[in-house]
Amino acid sequence: MAKIDEFMIGVDLGGTSMMVVALDSKGKILADRARSTKPELGADKVMERIADTVEKLLFDIGKGVRKAEGVCVGAPGVIDRENGLVVRAPNLNWTEYPLAKKLSQLLHSPVVLDNDVNAGAVGEHVLGAGRGARNMVAIFVGTGIGGGVIINDELYYGGRGSAGEVGHMKILADGPVCGCGRRGCVEALASRTAMERDVESALKAGRESAIPEIMKRDNRDRMTSSVIQEALQSRDALMEEVLRRAQLYLGLLVASVVNLLDPQCVVIGGGIVERLKEDFLRPVQMTAYEHFLRVKDSNRVKIVASELGDHAGAAGAAVLAWRALKGMDLRKSSMTNDK
């Protein structure tokens, strides 16, 4: 049994920002901190930023002499978990970077590594919207689209460790080019990047929209979730059209995942879902349910929004640290945790 003052650190490392949390053995978040990543400084400097954020987090908890039992980082890209390597992370411009070793040297604590979206799926499964489901799929919609698969209460990695890449399932054979270089991936059809591309294309073709004015006023160079929300609130016809199309493709993705795996729960998260909530989710649910192969008792498959929001990845990483470093399963203790 873990002592009451033991905790793990979970880090959700993104190309723009990082979220760091301390999680105790009962699944309670003791403290959290967010910080910009600044990958342009180089990988070693990013490690120093993580270590500095962890040190500040220890101070926040109130007992600065304590150190974490261990750390798990959820990092983007292709991960070698066994060797603690970030094999390839385009958003960070890293190749074959020994993250676990480097960060462990700075923190003097054991460090394990996993994929950021896998960590988010574990977070929602243990502490969030997927609690109680033995089989669950998490889909996170943002700049891209990523996923994580839980089968029989275990994170499913697949034969080569790359399971869950739902964003690169083909939905439209001759569709637009995806960031991976292939055509028709759902990421190229329903991500925020895809929506931004479609809006820009329509504007160049002469369509009218309030989006450029909103972005200029707020000094935005990207069509963020807040820009999308404001455009929808102003009944912007172009934004409504682009969003409907993205929701359709995302609904088809959910239906395909359900027809393949038949999970009890599909959790959908990401910035757009956080902003728009049920207004975003409802059309996705309707399309998905319409395309289930097994129509009978389809309501047994719950399609729900993320509960943990920005904390999903970091909290899930901390859960993975408990599992990897202490052999502890937080699912039972989290059932009664008051988040």
| Residue 73 confidence (pLDDT) | 98
List pLDDT tens digits, range 129-186: 999 999 999 999 988 899 999 999 999 999 988 899 999 999 999 999 998 889 999 9
The continuous run of DSSP H or E covering 321 comes out as helix 312-326
Does residue 338 register a pLDDT over 70? no
List pLDDT tens digits, range 3-25: 546 899 999 999 889 999 999 99
| Residue 194 confidence (pLDDT) | 96
272 touches 225 (CB < 8 A):
yes
Does residue 333 register a pLDDT over 80? no
Tokens, residue 224:
């963020």
Question: Where do the domains of the chain lie?
Answer: 7-121+310-334, 129-306
Rounded distance between C-alpha atoms, residue 330 and residue 190, angstroms = 33
Whole-angstrom CA distances from 37 to 18, 50, 73, 236 are 6, 8, 13, 33
Task: For residue 331, give every residue at least 6 positions away whose Cβ sits within 8 Å of its Cβ, in sequence order, or none.
Answer: 125, 126, 131, 153
Fold of the domain spanning 7-121+310-334 = Nucleotidyltransferase; domain 5 (3.30.420)
Q: What CATH number has the domain spanning 129-306? A: 3.30.420.40
List of E strands, 116-176: 136-141, 145-151, 154-155
